[in-house]
Amino acid sequence: MGLIQRSIEDVGISTISISLSKEITGKVRPPRAVCFGSLLGHPISYPGQVSRQLCVLRLLLKYLEEIRAPGTIVDIDSTAVDECAAAYPASK
Amino acid sequence: MEFRDSPWTKLDKDLTQCRLALITTGGVHLRCQPPFNMTDPSGDPTFREIPADASPSDLLIKHNYYDHSDADKDINILLPIERVFDLKQAGDIGDVNYRHFSFMGHIMHHHIDTLIEKTAPQVATELKSDNVDIAILTPA
């Protein structure tokens, strides 16, 4: 996926991805990535968990704005998603 | 494959003014589209265009290298096609692009060259022609 991300960033689009493996992501060096510790097949939470899905997306947008160094991989503890979901139970 | 540097496009617009597109490598395709090729052990470097207004019931997953039973129940955990409209409605982003793109992960050997030289740049060019500002990529 990092190879695709690199191509998209190359044409002038700001990108961010979810990393399921920091080791692989670290080798491919996409411009911005966030590691939520997600399980395979569950990059954006679980079925029906709308608030958590929105929180994952909002955290991605937050780091899309905040990351300043190319190749950064941000580690996010699951509690950050928990806290966000509690604060925004349905939507923003 | 290893790289020493990263491409970089500075985000120079407020998110509320940005058009967003999604890209997944989870093997998502429309029912009416051919599924990804699972018979080639090196994978399938092609892509599928997913209309942003596609219904989750229009979407299938063809990917034998991960358990997608939960994503079959709710595609948003892989390709958050409904959630991005929630973001737009809430004012987090300016707009959702009219189409997203899907690849299949597990691309190996000679197909990596096809991905790097042909299909990934093709999708990038398409997104640029759509005036997309930001993209979120989700793995499987």
Give me the pLDDT at residue B56, please.
97
For A39, name the nearest residue in chain B, comparing CA atoms only: B140
Question: B107 — alpha (psi -120 to 50), left (phi > 0) or beta?
Answer: beta
Going by C-beta distance under 8 Å and a sequence separation of 6 or more, which residues neighbour residue B132? A13, B19, B20, B21, B97
Cα radius of gyration (chain A): 13
Closest residue of A to B91, CA-based? A92
Q: Which candidate in B67, B73, B83 is best for mutational testing of the A interface (most A CBs within 10 A)?
A: B83
Residue-wise burial string across B122-137, b where 16 or more C-beta atoms lie within 10 A, e elsewhere: ebbebbeeeebbbbbb
Coil/strand/helix, residue B126: helix
Q: What per-residue confidence (pLDDT) applies to A54?
A: 96
CB contact under 8 A, A9 and B8: yes
Measured between beta carbons, the chain A residues lying within 8 angstroms of B63 are: none
Predicted confidence (pLDDT) per residue in B20-59, tens digit: 999 999 999 999 999 999 999 999 999 999 999 999 999 9
What is the C-alpha separation between B58 and B47, in angstroms, rounded? Answer: 17
Strand partners, A34: A18, A74
A84 burial (CB, 10 Å; 0-12 / 13-18 / 19+) is middle
Looking at residue A91, its pLDDT comes to: 46
Evaluate if residue B7 carries a pLDDT over 80. Answer: yes
Query: By C-alpha distance, which of B65, B64, B23, B46 is closest to A2?
Result: B23
How confident is the model at residue A90, as a pLDDT?
59
Condensed to tens digits (0 to 9), the pLDDT of residues B79-121 reads 999 999 999 999 999 999 999 999 998 888 999 999 999 999 9
**HEC-encoded secondary structure of A24-46:** HHHHHCCCEEEECCCCCCCCCCC
Q: Is A1 helix (H, G, I), strand (E, B) or coil?
A: coil
Are the C-beta atoms of residues B36 and B104 closer than 8 Å to each other? yes
Q: Which residue has the higher pLDDT, B126 or B64?
A: B126
Residue type, A29: R
Give Cα separations from A45 to A55, B34, B49 (angstroms): 10, 28, 24
CA separation for the pair B11, A67 (Å, rounded):
10
Please give the ipTM for the structure prediction: 0.97
| Residues 6+ away with beta carbon under 8 Å from B24 | B78, B79, B100, B101, B102, B103, B137, B138, B139, B140
**Residue in the structure block whose two tokens are 């496009």:** B9
Find the residue in B nearest to A10 (Cα): B7
Residues 105-134 of B with CB under 8 A from A: 105, 112, 115-116, 120-121, 123-125, 127-128, 132-134
Measure A22 CA to nearest chain B CA, in Å. Answer: 13
pLDDT of residue B1: 87
